[in-house]
Every structure is written in structure tokens, then in C-alpha cells.
A = this chain, B = another copy of it.
Amino acid sequence: MVRPNAGTKGVPRLDRENQILDVASAEFGEHGYAGASIARIAERAGISKPLIYSYFDSKEGLFLAAVERAGTVIADEIERIAHGSSEGLVRALETLQGIFTILEPQPYIWKLFFDESAPRTGPIAAAIGGYRERITKTADQGVTVLLHQQGVTHQLDISAMTAVWLSVVDALVNWWLEHPDQTAEQMTARCVRLIGALFGEDLP
């Protein structure tokens, strides 16, 4: 039987893996884990389904790889900013700036951590949980400092406020996805204006 193109492309495995992960992240981001289709990912990447399985074993494996690639980058960046000396709203703004910069090439990766239809048990849940915990823990520290300054010390209040803060980031990323013409710089400037207006502070 004739199989045109079989094996003729010769793209190195690592390159191909990254290309697949790019496409898969977008697909998972757009449709959620359950709504994403491997066949569609293959089509969008211009390759065949079996190649994906030969590199990532399963749908779960592919999603897991996407989550881990994204999680490392995002969590590292957030923790890096947290280790700086800034505090309160300035730190919040720096975090947003860092996230926008990282997400600029591929904004969809943010959504991998907030997928309702992703498996709730097994390695995927563990990985998502791990990265979310790193992110949440860091956010929690920042929120704690901010709220303590204002006299709020109730643990549940801080927990809720952390959830709100993470959701604010989420909202801005999603808004950005709907306004793809905006640059990371413009997004940061926008946040400066909004924080300034809401909290009446002068930001650097």
C-alpha cells in the first residue's frame, strides 16, 4: 500500500514534542480536557495521531506533559518575584507583569490549571495540585502581608482573598485571550491604571 510522506519529514523528536505541546495547550485551553480531541490536535499540528501516542502514550500523558511544562515556568516565575523585596500592591503588580510576559507567546497555558473537566485523581490531579499549591502558597503569603497591615487576620478571610486574587489574574489572562492585539506591556500599563484608580496609590 502506498503511504505518502511516511517518515519523510524528519523533525527531531524534541522539536516535534514542543510543537505538539504548543498545539495541545491551545486545544486544551479552548475546549477543556474532556472537550479536547487528540485527532484534532494531530490535525492542527499537521501530523498523524499515532505520532502523538508514540511520544506521549495517552491523552492523560499529553495533558500531563503540557501541565508540567507550563507549571514549571509559571510557578518559577511567581516564586522568583515573591523572593524580591516588594510588598503589597507593588508586588501584585510585578507578579502580573511577570505573568503577562511569560504568557505572551502562549496565553493558553494558564488555563491548564483551572480545567474543571480534567481528571480528579491520578498523576494529573497530583501535578495540577502541586503547581497550584506552589502558586497558591506564594499568593497566600503576599495576601497575608497585605491583609495583616489592614488588620484582617482571620485564616478563612485570607484564604478567600487568595482565591480572589488568583481569580483576578485568571480574569485578566482570559480578557487578554479575547483581546489578542494587546501586548504584555499594554496589559501591565492597564493594570497600573486600574490599581491606581481603585486604591488611589502611586505606583512606580
Residues of A whose CB lies within 8 Å of any CB of B are: 29-35, 111, 115-117, 147, 150-152, 154, 156-157, 159-161, 163-164, 166-168, 170-172, 174-175, 179, 182, 190, 193-194, 197-200
Docked CA distance A147–B151 (Å): 26
Known contacts A163-B172, A164-B168, A171-B166, A197 near B35 by CB under 8 Å: no
Q: Is the CB of B197 within 8 A of A151?
A: yes
Known: A32-B35, A32-B115, A116-B116. 4 other contacts (CB 8 A): A147-B194, A156-B179, A156-B182, A160-B190
User: A194 touches which one: B157, B166, B182, B199 (CB < 8 A)?
Assistant: B157
Instruction: State the number of copies, please.
Output: 2
- Interface centre among A154, A179, A194, by most chain B C-beta atoms within 10 angstroms, is A194
A32 touches B175 (CB 8 A): no
A35 and B115 alpha carbons, distance in the complex (Å): 11
B-side contacts of A147, CB under 8 Å: 194, 197
Between A and B, 23 residue pairs with Cβ closer than 8 Å are A29-B116, A30-B116, A31-B116, A32-B32, A32-B115, A116-B117, A147-B194, A150-B198, A150-B200, A152-B193, A152-B194, A152-B197, A156-B179, A156-B190, A157-B193, A157-B194, A160-B175, A163-B171, A164-B171, A164-B175, A167-B167, A167-B170, A168-B168
